[in-house]
Structure 1
């Protein structure tokens, strides 16, 4: 049980909330963890875990769709039960409460239990980690029972005959991959001119071509305008005068994946006048603090969330700041992201389409590395942006098998400020997909060495100009 005066009250048991609550208990502090739904948040229950489980079973191909979806739910439930047991009885000094938390004043939270009873708890710190939910999209004529989001997608009894997906982001691309593998006809509709707009055009095009090669119909610069239930036809129009789009016929399910909205309503934030951006996300500083003393936030509910691992990273920053007090914090590290399509894609940092003059962009095709031959991996690419002269890594994109794992090497190097040229001579096991990174370093050295004096002169002239302007 928690001590009479806990260090913190944590509202929400997703990645960020669990990180703070369990982290406090492990260093000898007590905490109250409040959750009004399932432990594990969106990721465990309706996000990362079931989606990756479905991708696994669809790639394996040994189970029929109904059994694959059943296995997805079984895996999800097993992990949820494990996490629930961990917070209920497996963690000392952690007091788990089922109910909805609402801020009354700084350090005071009202918990409303499922039976309607209420309780007020107090602590010097409160952490809001309530996550997000799918953004809604109105499609006139679409019956509610045909509308899917990630919240109900994994409850399907079997794969639809024809699944239309609105939104070509990570969720849309991953689910297009999984359901096409399971035999569904899949059509993907994206409002913008390319799918996966987080990526540079060339890597995004690789995923686009791969989906089309699987048999997925993709319509970009298009929007769904209405649904004709009698014929199962989804009407689609071009955006900004693009080419006409043929109707999508015989659709029996529509998955909407057009972004997320924060769960920031009905939390009492307005009572404390908590600063939020125009999207309703809580504004936090580099320590995870809000503008209200003692009130912290992390994850999708903030303006710095977006992924499960980002929420966990911010949870660790809050934990560190809460314990260390006024001591300075290290800079916020760059946070990678990944989409687990076929192939995978992962990226980190800033990579503008137009390369600045003081940046060297290294691009290596990885379809011809030896491991790609053994696995018949197909197209792949590594793109690394490096500051001229210093070798500082500014951003990277990897497309190919294990991209989500490989980007971790780049992430570590960026966090610890290891310049790219210091990678040269690093030995990776053979044959592995890390050979793509090795070749990128080789290409960088080959390009950078002949022009090092020119880069130094360019830097010196730029520095002189900036000093003159002062």
Structure 2
């Protein structure tokens, strides 16, 4: 039996970041992970492998559609799916081995196996029980499904199965038009699949700024994704060589059926706490199965904390990372803090979509007086040179104080550009502060400045 100051359960972005920060702050730390590699869902079967496939398939799209415009002529590359999968695997390995190196560097013990908490202050891994002053649950989430939809990870798959299909399907049906569904749908559409996306709601990407969602849907349609909104999936049936999906259109109640080689179920995720023994400990859970915590990530059980996807809030890797650092600082006697009003979200399609802060719909519903600064990438020289001028930057600021309340970007490098706004919001910046900050020319970031100028006297290039 080993004794620790802190044991973290789960080595995903929340868990491994928490473990490293705890060790850096002088706490004797261990992290429990049952996979063969560290990094959790994100590094193994989520964020990282999906970005590898998104990057590879985008390069193919560029070669097929844009190279000729740049004077780059020749035969378009063919897809070697096995090699693409090997590239994806190498990307995963580099990242997961990197976490293992960081654990050794920071003297974090990796307790290999699946954890349970037999009683307060104890963590059982395999046949060994370890003690700890503090236990942090960072066990993440798992894919959610729908009634009538049976997942076999062969024909009817989650994101995990979709990342490792034996071949590119001719027909792919995606259930759910959220981040995961649209990213993986984009991958396979670029690789030649006929992709149909079924979404229960009337808008794709629920919660997204309405202007951005409308533009995003039009762009995806132009890229070949057939998106059907207002579609209530009734069930799936896996046949010998294909699958059948039945759905009902909410607007008129009509029944429909569609065949596919593969069905991707991308209807969200749910907290994963199986096997931890939370019921026996008396840990309070919400109606959605999330662990209830206070502002310092303490659960209803003394000495037990929780972060990331198992608690309330957006299921984002970087949100979990911030919580991991915050709870480590709390355990070390410091004041850990996460600003939940400034957590960006990104969809890594092409163009990328990124947002932070309030949407216009939220401000309108709250009765907040605001102003909008909007600038199209068609007015950005760098975007036009890169043949990537679709989309816009939309900045929302308080009507009286000019303080930035939110930003929504659809366009090239949106996932990078959004962080200028994040930093500004952390320091209470006004739109004028961004507008008066010199931006290098020519860069995509000038579109952000122009949107800020549009909150005042007006942009220059529009």
**TM-score of the alignment, normalized to the shorter chain, above 0.5:** yes
CA contact (8 A) 1:284 1:304 kept: no
Structure 1 portions without partners, runs of 5+: 113-117, 449-470
Query: What are the residue-to-residue correspondences of 1:100-249 with 2, within 5 Å?
Result: 100-112=114-126, 118-139=127-148, 145-227=154-236, 229=239, 232=242, 234-242=244-252, 244=254, 247-249=257-259
Give the match's secondary structure for 1:6.
strand
Task: Give 1:285 shift.
Answer: 2.6
Structure 2 portions without partners, runs of 5+: 61-76
CA contact (8 A) 2:309 2:320 kept: yes
CA contact (8 A) 1:142 1:226 kept: no
**Structure 2 vs 1, CA of residues 373 and 25 (structure 1 numbering), >3 Å: closer, same or farther?**
same
Cα deviations by residue, 1:393-414 (Å, 9 ceiling, x for unpaired): 2211111011001111111111
In structure 2, the partner of 1:27 is 25
Cα deviations by residue, 1:304-336 (Å, 9 ceiling, x for unpaired): 3511111101111111111125x5857555211
Between the aligned partners of 1:303 and 1:53, the Cα distance in structure 2 is 29
CA contact (8 A) 1:72 1:154 kept: no
CA contact (8 A) 1:385 1:394 kept: yes
TM-score where L is the length of structure 1: 0.87
CA contact (8 A) 1:16 1:311 kept: yes
Query: What are the residue-to-residue correspondences of 1:64-463 with 2, within 5 Å?
Result: 64-87=80-103, 90-112=104-126, 118-139=127-148, 145-227=154-236, 229=239, 232=242, 234-242=244-252, 244=254, 247-249=257-259, 251-325=260-334, 327=335, 329=337, 331-332=339-340, 334-353=342-361, 355=364, 356-446=367-457
In structure 2, the partner of 1:456 is none
**Structure 2 vs 1, CA of residues 170 and 41 (structure 1 numbering), >3 Å: closer, same or farther?**
same
Between the aligned partners of 1:141 and 1:276, the Cα distance in structure 2 is 26
CA contact (8 A) 2:234 2:248 kept: no
Between the aligned partners of 1:312 and 1:48, the Cα distance in structure 2 is 14
Cα deviations by residue, 1:257-296 (Å, 9 ceiling, x for unpaired): 0000101232122233222211111122332222333211
In structure 1, the partner of 2:5 is 7
CA contact (8 A) 1:20 1:318 kept: yes
**Structure 2 vs 1, CA of residues 285 and 439 (structure 1 numbering), >3 Å: closer, same or farther?**
same
Cα deviations by residue, 1:59-112 (Å, 9 ceiling, x for unpaired): 11244333222321232133223323443xx23432111111112222211222
Task: Give 1:435 shift.
Answer: 1.3
Between the aligned partners of 1:231 and 1:104, the Cα distance in structure 2 is 46
Give the match's secondary structure for 2:118.
strand
CA contact (8 A) 1:142 1:227 kept: no
Tell me the C-alpha RMSD between the 2 structures.
2.4
In structure 2, the partner of 1:36 is 34
CA contact (8 A) 1:124 1:294 kept: yes
**Structure 2 vs 1, CA of residues 329 and 313 (structure 1 numbering), >3 Å: closer, same or farther?**
closer
* Greater radius of gyration (CA): 1
**Structure 2 vs 1, CA of residues 242 and 418 (structure 1 numbering), >3 Å: closer, same or farther?**
same
In structure 2, the partner of 1:460 is none
Between the aligned partners of 2:402 and 2:350, the Cα distance in structure 1 is 31
Size of the aligned set, in residue pairs, is 437
In structure 2, the partner of 1:58 is 57
Cα deviations by residue, 1:110-158 (Å, 9 ceiling, x for unpaired): 222xxxxx11111111100000000023446887630111122222222
Cα deviations by residue, 1:180-237 (Å, 9 ceiling, x for unpaired): 1111111111111111113122211222112211111111110332446378463443
Give the match's secondary structure for 2:349.
coil
Between the aligned partners of 1:143 and 1:28, the Cα distance in structure 2 is 45
Between the aligned partners of 2:384 and 2:323, the Cα distance in structure 1 is 40
In structure 2, the partner of 1:452 is none
Between the aligned partners of 1:379 and 1:255, the Cα distance in structure 2 is 28
TM-score where L is the length of structure 2: 0.88
Between the aligned partners of 2:304 and 2:252, the Cα distance in structure 1 is 48
CA contact (8 A) 2:7 2:29 kept: yes
In structure 1, the partner of 2:72 is none
**Structure 2 vs 1, CA of residues 310 and 447 (structure 1 numbering), >3 Å: closer, same or farther?**
same
CA contact (8 A) 2:326 2:338 kept: no
Cα deviations by residue, 1:401-451 (Å, 9 ceiling, x for unpaired): 110011111111112222222223201111111111111111112279xxx
Between the aligned partners of 1:357 and 1:142, the Cα distance in structure 2 is 44
